[in-house]
Amino acid sequence: MDMALRFMAIAHVWSNGDIEYANLLDNGSLTTVYMDGAQVPPWLRERVALLRLCDVNKDTKGESLGRKFTEHMMLYVYLTHDEHKELNEIVKSEGVQNEEAK
């Protein structure tokens, strides 16, 4: 499997550019993890912002940053294994903090 397509984040973005949430995908193990928009780190926000500047691209392959499938909502950001792992750790640590606050 192409490593650029194995790990990705699908960002759901409001029309004002804020990230509502992201789904973190591992297409190798067919798993997905929900990440609230408030948890998204600055480096992923920057990539989403860059993709928002691109044209919608449903046919051409070979991009390195990700793909923009709709004008505002669905942005596919390609991740490395380490980036995917970092995002999952953020989600996990936030979940632990929320559980401790109860």
Distance CA 45, CA 5 (A): 19
pTM of the model: 0.79
Q: Dump pLDDT digits (tens) for 2-11.
A: 555 899 999 9
Residues 6+ apart with CB under 8 A from 36: 21, 94
Inter-residue contact 8 to 23 (CB < 8 Å): no
Encoding tokens for residue 14?
A: 């409001």
Q: How many residues are given for the chain?
A: 102
Distance CA 67, CA 37 (A): 19
Q: List pLDDT tens digits, range 26-85.
A: 999 999 999 999 999 999 999 998 888 877 666 666 567 888 877 667 788 999 999 999
